[in-house]
Structure 1
Amino acid sequence: MRRVAIIGAGQAGLQLALGLRSAGYEVTVVSERTAEEVRGGGVMSTQLMFGPALALERAAGLNLWDDLAPVMRGFEMTQWDPAAEAPRSRFTASFDEEVRSVDQRLKLAAWLELFEARGGRVEYRSAGADELAGIAGRHDLTVVATGRGALSSLFGRDAERSAYDRPQRTLACFYASGVEGRGAASDAYARVTGVPPAGDAIVMRALTVGGRCDILLIEGKFGGPYDCWGDRPAPEEGLRRAVELLRVYAPWEYERFAKAEPTDAGAALYGAITPTVRHGVAELGDGQCVLGMADAVVVNDPITGQGANNAARAAASYLDAIVRRGDLSFDGPWMRRTFAEYWKSAQHVHAFTDLMLRQPPADHVVRLLEAAFEHPAAAHRFTNGYADPLDYRDWLMDPAGAERYLAEIARAD
């Protein structure tokens, strides 16, 4: 029986671990926290997942919350500047496939327990960089699936693929209960309000440890009014501050959140992420290599909601490559091919996210979004590209393709 070690117990690491156990591999996961500690800890992300990623979970039998997690049926985008006289612009569009968010405290805790129930081995501890050679020596393959700490730095930044060398946004995330609807279909949508001097306020429905809730993610521009989380306030104070910001910069969301309260003592998360692509393989010396996966090697800002989807795709891609390898060695060349195969999809996710962070936005992107506010077909296509950013390649990502698409929309009028 082939032995695989996976360092990191997040979406990618546990999805891969469970898939390998089902395929008959002996798998060891190194997790910093127990299931109980994960479930009772602080929120870790917004984990918005689109149809293709949810289908990967369902195919693996890991969709444990289909009867509980709310489905977001559509997307609403609003842009305005409260200091300007121009009215706000808004469009809504339906998702072609289901979209859900399940608190990773729920998901990862349950998957850890499921992995152990299926005969997987978990070492509850941190793994340092100096331990990797020993771990690799005891296993046929070692996969690093944690993007935190010194382990990810072993893979080295890929300067050609990394557009930014510092965070582009300051982030604050709150899980809230008591959010009241406005009696509109968009109450159940994923919603984005963009304000040029401030940043973006993103709202989505979710399932958390105490039941259904709403998540508010503030993507603040540095130096702007949304950049106010340096003191890392407790959830109650942080949410109060965020709601006061909504009063000014997204009053239609303020109406919903005015009476909201944090869902629990761990319902706030703050930070800033540097979008980065690293090399997929780390060489440890003496011919030893380890393979990086998901956030360990490709890190995206959450502005486009791609993190959990990226992790699910990585786990599925790596599982397929490992099983197809059979009894052959998991050597360095195979690892590099495995990462290269995964990068075929990850590159579109990363490029889309980088483009949406760009300031000032590219001219063709501005024009395409303006078209989305006027043309339902453009709004629908933009909305559903989130599920698989490959669709953006030939129009949103390409100025010449944007011109062709804009001309196509004009002819359709």
Structure 2
Amino acid sequence: MRKILIVGAGQSGLQLALGLQAHGYEVTVMSNRTADEIRGGRVMSTQCMFDQALQHERDLEINFWEDRSPRVEGLGVSVAGPDGSRPVNWLGRLDGYAQSVDQRVKMAGWMETFAQRGGQLVIHGAAVSDLDFFARAYDLVLVAAGKGELVTMFERDAARSPYDRPQRALAVAYAHGVERRPEHPDTLAVRCNLVPGVGELFMIPGYTVSGACDIMFWEGVPGGPLDVFTGVTDPAEHFSLTLELMKRFTPWEYERAAKAELTDAGGTLAGRYAPTVRKPIGRLPSGGAVLGVADVVVANDPITGQGSNSASKCAAAYLASILERGEEPFDEEWMQATFDRYWATAQHVTKWTNAMLAPPPEHVLKLIGSGMQYQALADRFANGFNDPADFEDWFFEPEKAEAYLASLADG
């Protein structure tokens, strides 16, 4: 029986661990927190997952919250005018529903399931020196902890990382009591509110420790009017700031949320990081090699909502590569090939995300505006969150955008 160590208990690490466990591998997971500490801690992300990523959970039969979590059937886009108006406002329909399950709920539940099924769970904050010791006892070591010292083992891939500093200041709040959207009260949807030159507000229906909720997620241009959450430690103050900014920049969202309340004391999060692609093989002091997983090696800004989706897809790709390897050694050539298999899909996410962080070119503004005129475009944009590779055919290049718009006009 092959022995595998996974460091990190997030979406990718636990999904991969449960998948390997189901195929008879001897798996150890290292986490710096217990399930109870995670469940009772602070929110970690917004984690709206679309159909392809959710299917990987269904395939492993670990979609424990699918029947409880609200089903997101659309994705809308609004553009704010300087006077508080919405010159652009449309809704695209998803072919398969999306869901957002608070990672406090999911990761705690998955950790407990992994342990109940006989997996070895080690509660220990791993350092590079720890991995150097443990690596000798395992056939493969996977690093799925995207923050802290361990990430320094993986070299930044400058050719794939155009940004060297954070492009957005991030602020999240989970709330109960947000009213249904009046323009489509029967369709739950993620809403992307674009405030030109200022940032973005995402409204995401979700499921948290206390049931159904709505997630308010500000992405602010650094140094701009949304960049006000640094140093704010009081959840009530964070929530109040969130609502004040909604009232100022997206009054249509504030109207729905004016009577909302924070879900719990751990329901806020703020921070920022530079989007970075890293080389997948990490070097240990003794000369051994470890393989990076998900946002350890491809950390995109959350502006396109792809973090958990990419983590799920990475775990699925790595699981397939490990199973196909059989008894052959997990050498560095295999590690690189395994990452390349994931990068085949991740590259589209990185390209799209980095494009959305930049000021939009004229053809993108035209596409976004045309979502009001063409339902097919609105639907295609929405479903691009499920399969970002589709954007290659119509979104990035002016010529392809014009050809697509012409095809819609000819109709």
Cross-structure match for 2:391: 392
Cross-structure match for 1:203: 203
Q: What SS does the corresponding residue of 1:70 show, helix, strand or coil?
A: coil
* Structure 1 gap ranges (5+): none
Kept in 2: contact 1:202–1:218 (CA 8 A): yes
How many Å separate the matches in 1 of 2:399 and 2:20? 43
Q: What SS does the corresponding residue of 1:95 show, helix, strand or coil?
A: strand
How many Å separate the matches in 1 of 2:237 and 2:121? 37
Cross-structure match for 2:190: 190
Kept in 1: contact 2:16–2:319 (CA 8 A): yes
How many Å separate the matches in 1 of 2:182 and 2:395? 33
Cross-structure match for 2:326: 326
Q: CA deviation at 1:182?
A: 4.4
Cross-structure match for 2:99: 100
Amino acid in the other structure paired with 2:204: M
Q: What SS does the corresponding residue of 1:27 show, helix, strand or coil?
A: strand
Q: CA deviation at 1:242?
A: 1.0
Q: What SS does the corresponding residue of 2:366 show, helix, strand or coil?
A: helix
Q: CA deviation at 1:285?
A: 5.5
Cross-structure match for 2:372: 373
Deviation per CA, 1:109-163, whole angstroms, max 9, x where unpaired? 0000000011100110111012222121110000000110121121110000111
Cross-structure match for 2:274: 274
Q: CA deviation at 1:320?
A: 0.5
Cross-structure match for 2:242: 242
Kept in 2: contact 1:236–1:261 (CA 8 A): no
After superposition, the Cα gap between the structure-2 partners of 1:356 and 1:209, relative to the gap in structure 1 and judged at 3 Å, is same
Q: CA deviation at 1:241?
A: 1.3
Cross-structure match for 1:12: 12
How many Å separate the matches in 1 of 2:107 and 2:86? 43
Amino acid in the other structure paired with 1:219: E
Deviation per CA, 1:78-124, whole angstroms, max 9, x where unpaired? 1022248x852111121110110000000000000000011100110
How many Å separate the matches in 2 of 1:364 and 1:180? 34
Cross-structure match for 2:117: 118
Deviation per CA, 1:162-209, whole angstroms, max 9, x where unpaired? 111111000100000111224442562111111113211110111100
How many Å separate the matches in 2 of 1:129 and 1:39? 27
How many Å separate the matches in 2 of 1:289 and 1:383? 39
Kept in 1: contact 2:79–2:86 (CA 8 A): no
Q: CA deviation at 1:367?
A: 2.0
Kept in 2: contact 1:234–1:268 (CA 8 A): no
Q: What SS does the corresponding residue of 1:185 show, helix, strand or coil?
A: coil
Amino acid in the other structure paired with 2:321: A
Moved more, 338-347 or 74-83: 74-83
Alignment of 1:263-412 (within 5 A): 263-284=263-284, 287-358=287-358, 360-412=359-411
Deviation per CA, 1:58-83, whole angstroms, max 9, x where unpaired? 01001001221000111111102224
Taking only aligned residues, the RMSD between alpha carbons, in angstroms, comes to 1.4
Cross-structure match for 1:137: 136
Q: TM-score, normalised by structure 2?
A: 0.97
How many Å separate the matches in 2 of 1:18 and 1:57? 10
1:24 pairs with 2:19 = no
Kept in 2: contact 1:29–1:121 (CA 8 A): yes
Kept in 2: contact 1:9–1:145 (CA 8 A): yes
Q: TM-score, normalised by structure 1?
A: 0.96
After superposition, the Cα gap between the structure-2 partners of 1:364 and 1:182, relative to the gap in structure 1 and judged at 3 Å, is closer
* Structure 2 gap ranges (5+): none
How many Å separate the matches in 1 of 2:298 and 2:35? 26
Kept in 1: contact 2:93–2:378 (CA 8 A): no
- % identical equivalent positions: 47
Q: What SS does the corresponding residue of 1:354 show, helix, strand or coil?
A: helix
How many Å separate the matches in 2 of 1:143 and 1:190? 33
Amino acid in the other structure paired with 1:75: L
Cross-structure match for 1:81: 81
How many Å separate the matches in 2 of 1:197 and 1:224? 9
How many Å separate the matches in 2 of 1:332 and 1:246? 49
Shift >6 Å, 4+ stretches: none
Q: What SS does the corresponding residue of 2:371 show, helix, strand or coil?
A: helix
How many Å separate the matches in 2 of 1:352 and 1:370? 18
Amino acid in the other structure paired with 1:77: V
Cross-structure match for 1:3: 3
How many Å separate the matches in 1 of 2:149 and 2:372? 44
After superposition, the Cα gap between the structure-2 partners of 1:16 and 1:407, relative to the gap in structure 1 and judged at 3 Å, is same
Amino acid in the other structure paired with 2:116: A
Cross-structure match for 1:261: 261
Kept in 1: contact 2:281–2:291 (CA 8 A): yes
Q: What SS does the corresponding residue of 1:160 show, helix, strand or coil?
A: helix
After superposition, the Cα gap between the structure-2 partners of 1:175 and 1:87, relative to the gap in structure 1 and judged at 3 Å, is closer
1:252 pairs with 2:257 = no
Kept in 1: contact 2:166–2:275 (CA 8 A): yes
Deviation per CA, 1:343-382, whole angstroms, max 9, x where unpaired? 0001001111111111x21232222212223211111111
Deviation per CA, 1:300-339, whole angstroms, max 9, x where unpaired? 1111110000000000000010011000000111001000
Cross-structure match for 1:90: 89
Q: What SS does the corresponding residue of 1:81 show, helix, strand or coil?
A: coil
How many Å separate the matches in 2 of 1:115 and 1:126? 19
Amino acid in the other structure paired with 1:46: T
How many Å separate the matches in 1 of 2:233 and 2:375? 40
Amino acid in the other structure paired with 1:379: A
